[in-house]
């Protein structure tokens, strides 16, 4: 028995190192065999909106790099909570991914009974794009500037469309109302694609949407952009003033899209996905397509995305409380 004690003690000392080595071997094996079937990229909104456009551009290129089809799966409903809940509960094997927008950070304040936590239920992979939101009006509206729009809104009842209740577009519209003293009725849609159709058709006179959703309609003269919501002007809309420049001092909101995976997805898969997505966004063909659609191509570390999520939850939660908004 005494001769076994030194052996057992030695095994106890090297067990942690053996566990780490086994883990690394397993991770390496997973990375080498993945993917061996199609990968699903969930989009929490309807086709045609900003998040959907970015997802499809990236998915097309990612299919070529992975050698397996990356299928875009639109799962709209309840401001994205249906899709995020499903992905949070999915098997963490790298075959289910999701494109998140900044509106993800609003959900804990809008839905008190969420079955997921944006900070812990997912692991970030990389940013894919950023873009400002825009304050846009139907072409028939006489207002040609934010100042004229505010004056007009104080004389008549207006409504504004967004991609849904509890989104950054919705909150930006509420913030515009608060800062200018105007009153507008919020008209939530199931996605930016539906909202822009009604704005272009005149069914809703005003909208706060992602710039990429609106730009195509401005080119054919159906919609007019009055201002962008970011602190700095957008490269895609360099002749359009910011809300800050237009008198709403300190207004600074922009939309981001990022790829996430369910928590506990193997790190080796996450590392590969970060590498592949970064390469895709930096390729001229992807950058050109994103910029032409009104996006700013962006990549990042997973930690940067995690920080954006934490910051967004704190910022929007505070604003919702201050404005006493009921987002149900």
Residue 21: pLDDT over 70: no
If asked whether residues 268 and 311 sit together in one domain, one would say: yes
What are the phi and psi torsion angles at 71 (to 5°)? -95, 125
Beta-bridged to residue 161, according to DSSP, are 187, 207
Instruction: Give the pLDDT mean for 212-221.
Output: 93
Reported as a single tens digit per residue, the pLDDT across 53-75 is 999 999 999 999 999 999 999 99
pLDDT (tens digit, 9 = 90+) per residue, 308-321?
999 999 999 998 88
In a domain, 140, yes or no: yes
* β-bridge partners, 258: 100, 127
Q: How many domains does the chain have?
A: 2
Q: Do residues 100 and 156 both lie within one domain?
A: no
The whole-model pTM stands at: 0.80
Higher local confidence (pLDDT), 298 or 8: 298
Determine the average pLDDT of the residues in 9-28. Answer: 57
pLDDT value at residue 108: 92
Report the CATH number at residue 112.
Answer: 3.40.190.150
For 101, the token pair is 């927008």
User: Does residue 25 carry a pLDDT above 60?
Assistant: no
Average pLDDT taken over every residue of the chain: 91
* Residue 186, beta-bridge partner list: 160
CA dihedral 118, 124, 129, 133 (to 10 degrees): 10
Statement to judge: residues 39 and 125 lie in one domain: yes
21 part of a folded domain? no
Classified as helix, coil or strand, 105 is helix
Of 210, 237, 264, the residue that ends a domain is 237
Contact indicator for 136, 240 with CB cutoff of 8 Å: no
Does any domain span residue 249?
Answer: no
The DSSP output letter for 242 is B
Tens-place pLDDT, residues 247-296: 999 999 999 999 999 999 999 999 999 999 999 999 999 999 999 888 99
- One domain for residues 141 and 229: yes
Residue at a domain's end among 211, 237, 263: 237
Percent of the chain whose predicted confidence (pLDDT) is above 90: 73
Residues 202 and 284 in one domain: no
Domain enclosing residue 65, as ranges: 35-130+255-323
Is 225 among the domain residues? yes
The verdict on residue 243 lying in a domain is no
Give the pLDDT score at 27.
56
CB of 108 closer than 8 Å to CB of 317:
yes
Integer Cα distance of 24 and 19 in angstroms? 9
Which residues sit opposite 53 in a β-bridge?
none
Residue-wise pLDDT for 83-111, tens only, equals 999 999 999 999 999 999 999 999 998 88
- Quote the pLDDT of residue 11: 62
- Is residue 171 in a domain? yes
| Residues 231 and 263 occupy one common structural domain | no
Predicted pLDDT of residue 301:
97
pLDDT of 29 higher than 50: yes
Asked if residue 115 and residue 68 are part of one domain, the reply reads yes
Q: Which residues contact 62 (CB under 8 A, 6 or more apart)?
A: 39, 41, 70, 276, 277, 280
Is 181 part of a structural domain of the chain? yes
Is residue 123 within 8 Å of residue 262, measured between CB atoms?
yes
């Amino acid at each position: 028995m005494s001769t076994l004690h030194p052996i057992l003690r030695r095994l106890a000392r090297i067990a942690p190192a053996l566990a780490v080595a086994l883990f690394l071997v397993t991770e390496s094996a997973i990375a080498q065999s993945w993917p061996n079937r199609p990968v699903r990229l969930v989009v929490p909104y309807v086709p045609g909106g900003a998040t959907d456009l970015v997802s499809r551009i990236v998915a097309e290129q990612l299919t070529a790099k992975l050698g397996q089809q990356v299928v875009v799966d639109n799962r709209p409903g309840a401001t994205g909570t249906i899709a995020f809940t499903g992905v949070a509960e999915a098997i963490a094997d790298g075959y289910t991914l999701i494109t998140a927008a900044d509106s993800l950070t609003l959900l804990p304040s809008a839905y008190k009974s969420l079955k997921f936590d944006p900070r812990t239920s997912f692991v970030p992979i990389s940013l894919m794009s950023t873009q400002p939101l825009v304050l846009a009006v139907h072409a028939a509206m006489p207002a040609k500037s934010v100042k004229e729009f505010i004056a007009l809104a104080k004389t008549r009842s207006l409504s504004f469309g967004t991609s849904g209740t509890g989104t950054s577009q919705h909150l930006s519209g509420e913030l515009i109302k608060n800062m200018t003293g105007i009153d507008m009725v919020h008209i939530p849609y199931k996605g930016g694609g539906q909202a822009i159709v009604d704005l272009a058709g005149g069914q809703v006179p005003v909208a706060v949407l992602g710039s990429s959703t609106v730009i195509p309609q401005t080119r054919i003269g159906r919609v007019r952009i009055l201002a962008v919501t970011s602190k700095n002007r957008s490269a895609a809309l360099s002749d359009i003033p910011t809300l800050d420049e237009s008198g709403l001092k300190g207004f600074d909101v922009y939309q981001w899209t990022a790829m996430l995976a369910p928590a506990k997805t193997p790190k080796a898969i996450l590392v590969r996905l970060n590498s592949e997505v970064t390469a895709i966004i930096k390729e001229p063909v992807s950058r050109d397509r994103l910029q032409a659609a009104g996006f700013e191509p962006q990549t990042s570390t997973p930690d940067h995305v995690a920080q954006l999520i934490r910051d967004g939850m704190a910022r929007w939660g505070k604003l919702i409380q201050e404005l006493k908004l009921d987002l149900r």
